[in-house]
Amino acid sequence: MAQSDTVDRILDAAEELFAERGFSETSLRMITSKASVNLAAVNYHFGSKNALIHSVFARFLTPFSDTLEQAFDELEQNCAGEPPTLDQTLRALTESAVRMPQRNERGISIFMRLLGLAYTQSQGHLRKFLEQQYSQPFGRFMRLLKEATPQLSAVDRYWRIQFMLGATAFTMSSSDALRDILQNKLGVETSVQDIVARLVPFLAAGMQASDPMQAPVGKPSVA
């Protein structure tokens, strides 16, 4: 078996099992069994389970980061010195993900599931890895978000970004199930591109909503 094929089989198996079971619940032996390789192959190519987790993320994020940087370059060039709008910034992010060549039709949903797990499970090493390796494109994204929402306080912007990420992670990681539900209930077929087209204006509206912490308190309405 060629080395590249061995690496891909290990990464494919790890990606699927991590998404299904979580990081802690997935053992290296589960991965080697699914990939039809021995434990020595995992140790040789990756060295440790943490390094394997990093490689699973890097396989998606490295090409995505390159695509995203190009999208931001084009966006800022087209804006001719003016800061891009929030809608433009979000579209650059989401459309970059959709345009990425996928190894299989569940590529984005699997990755978004993994990204959600990275922040809900105890994976400090992974968050540190992501911050170190991909600080440039995502730091740029955060700068564009800040420029597009000058009316928000730092605290309110922080929470809205978390809400935005949560909505995105849930929607995209559950996209297969959500599409099936819509098909069964309404007979409507939906593509990933359709989902993104509907998601972006929803996220933008949430980021730009008035600050409820500063809204005047009025009298309760009478039904």
Is the model's pLDDT at 117 over the cut of 50? yes
Q: CA 123 to CA 50: how far, in whole Å?
A: 9
pLDDT for res 125: 87
Is the model's pLDDT at 48 over the cut of 60? yes
pLDDT for res 188: 93
Is the model's pLDDT at 223 over the cut of 50? no
Q: Which of 52, 50, 2, 51 is nearest to 32 (CA)?
A: 52
Q: Which of 159, 164, 166 is nearest to 117 (CA)?
A: 166
Confidence band of 109 (pLDDT split at 50, 70, 90): confident
Q: CA 62 to CA 53: how far, in whole Å?
A: 14
Per-residue model confidence as pLDDT tens digits over 147-163:
999 999 999 999 999 99
Are residues 126 and 57 in contact, defined by beta-carbon separation less than 8 angstroms? yes
Residue-wise over 183-199: b if at least 16 C-beta within 10 A, else e? eeeeeeebebeebbeeb
Q: CA 75 to CA 89: how far, in whole Å?
A: 8
Is the model's pLDDT at 187 over the cut of 90? yes
- DSSP annotation of 209: S
Confidence band of 183 (pLDDT split at 50, 70, 90): very high
Is the model's pLDDT at 222 over the cut of 60? no
Confidence band of 2 (pLDDT split at 50, 70, 90): low
* Mean predicted lDDT score pLDDT of the chain: 87
Q: Comparing 1-15, 30-44, 60-74, which segment has the lowest mean pLDDT?
A: 1-15
Q: Which residue has the higher pLDDT, 192 or 69?
A: 69
Are residues 52 and 46 in contact, defined by beta-carbon separation less than 8 angstroms? yes
- Global confidence as pTM: 0.81
| Structural domains in the chain, sorted by start | 1-47 (1.10.10.60), 60-208 (1.10.357.10)
pLDDT for res 3: 62
Residue-wise over 41-54: b if at least 16 C-beta within 10 A, else e? bbeebbeebeebbb
